[in-house]
Amino acid sequence: MPAKKLTDSLVSKTTARLTDSAVRGFFVLPRKTGKFFYYKYKTPEGKSRSFPLGRFGNVTTTEARKLAKEAAGQVAKGLDPQAEKQAHRAEQKRQEQETLRAFLAGGYREVTPKKTADEVTPKLMHHFSEYMDQPMSSITAWSIEKWKRSYPGKPSGANRMLTRLRGVLNKAVKAGLLEVSPMADVKKLKEDKNQKIRYLTTVEEKTFLDAVEARQEKHREERTRYIKWCMDRNRKPPMPFDQPFTDHVAPMIVVKLNTGLRRGELFNLRVADLNLPDRLLTVVGEGAKSGQTRQIPLNDKAFTALVGWLNQTGNSGLVFPSPVTGLRLDNINSAWRQLRKGAGLPDLRLHDLRHTFGTRLAHNRVDLVTIKELMGHESLDTTARYLHTSQELKINAVMGLV
């Protein structure tokens, strides 16, 4: 069939291949799934190829002709349009794989403990959302500096986010996805390392523990009333609360106050980590923030609480499993809110019980190295914060001057 200038009308009616008379090599070919435009050319090596331009209906004849002219221009320059398109797609795919989002979901998880990856990933996706779909190579120290200055929270919070991002980008460098991390030129914000540590005073600790016991007493009263309700209706009643603890909350708090365990360390604690004959608790490095295993002697309060709880429950896996699923707990938020309200301490956080443990050690003049080891700190600078809580130490130091 002789060549004709292709139009939409002509293409819509044809049932056979038509070649365009206006642009050499431009043609339309009907197939079962539609009519498709192509540009036929020869590669620099002399190989004949048909370069797809699109399906009629998705592109007009005029648009397809324009694409054919662009392909002809590439051929005139000694290029192969098909190879160029494949290279462009490969580059796009490479860039997609090198975005921060793709790395967090793929390569980063392959070389990072699951617990760490699960913690870091959502935080970075929240705080650095603008970087997620960019190639990591486009993240600059300048853009991070601007983020740092606009961070709405405390410097310590911004620094924690920067540390997490630094760790991820350093791994991207090791994976060969980045030549150099932009974090090398980003400094942390200055923090007040002597800021006040929230801990329980002796009076507050008594008030708080009274609230813990009051919560247990409330549980016992509620159970007693329910037992009576069941018996009045000839229903099988539950067992009364005649054990030391009504649930896991009270023993957890006693243990945390007297060992300084972090929240995750407490939730990860297993019966196998306890050496009760020698009164030792082992924090396994895999579940510790520092990644280092440490041992904490159990004082009478912690020892009694653990023995009582294990005798009561018979737990053999996790010391404090979820009462609902039997698996690892992830929070005690509801009970904590009740306790804070009952104790009149609305600003108290669960982590402040750890601060209380560290502060008590410092006030008892325990040396810094020992406190560091018991708390699981990586740096003595962190441990030294607990010395600032003791006004007595400061007064004695000044009064000792001659």
Domain membership of residue 3 (yes or no) is: no
Q: At what angle do helices 155-174 and 141-150 cross, to 10 degrees?
A: 160
State how far the alpha carbon of 280 is from the alpha carbons of 274, 275, 359, 368, in Å: 6, 5, 21, 20
79 found inside a domain? yes
**Phi, psi dihedral angles at 20 (to 5 degrees):** -80, 140
For residues 86 and 107, state if they share a domain.
no
Q: Which residue, of 150, 185, 220, is where some domain finishes?
A: 185
CATH of the domain at 41: 3.30.160.390
Residues 360 and 223 in one domain: yes
278 in any annotated domain: yes
Q: Would you say residue 249 lies in a domain?
A: yes
Same domain, 230 and 366: yes
Q: Which of 185, 215, 234 is the last residue of a domain?
A: 185
CA atoms of 162 and 147, how far apart (whole Å): 10
Same domain, 229 and 378: yes
Q: Is residue 2 part of a domain?
A: no
Expressed as residue numbers, the domain containing 60 is 8-91
Domain-embedded: residue 131: yes
Kindly compute the dihedral angle of the four CA atoms of residues 138, 144, 147, 148, in this order, to the nearest 10 degrees. Answer: 170
Question: Under DSSP, is residue 280 helix (H, G, I), strand (E, B) or coil?
Answer: strand
Per-residue pLDDT tens digits of the chain, which is 402 residues long: 678 899 999 999 999 999 999 999 999 999 999 999 999 999 888 899 999 999 999 999 999 999 999 999 988 998 888 888 877 776 666 655 678 998 998 889 989 988 889 989 999 999 999 989 888 888 999 999 999 989 998 888 899 999 999 999 999 999 888 889 999 889 988 876 666 788 999 999 999 999 999 999 999 999 999 999 999 999 999 888 888 999 999 999 999 999 999 999 999 999 999 999 999 999 987 766 667 899 999 999 999 999 999 999 998 899 999 998 999 998 999 999 999 999 999 999 999 999 999 999 988 889 999 999 999 988 888 888 777 666 656 666 677 665
Q: Transcribe 20-64 into DSSP letters.
A: BSSSTTEEEEEETTEEEEEEEEE-TTS-EEEEEEEEBTTB-HHHH
pLDDT of residue 91: 63
Split into its structural domains, the chain has a count of 3
Instruction: Verify that 257 and 307 share a domain, yes or no.
Output: yes
pTM of the predicted protein model: 0.63
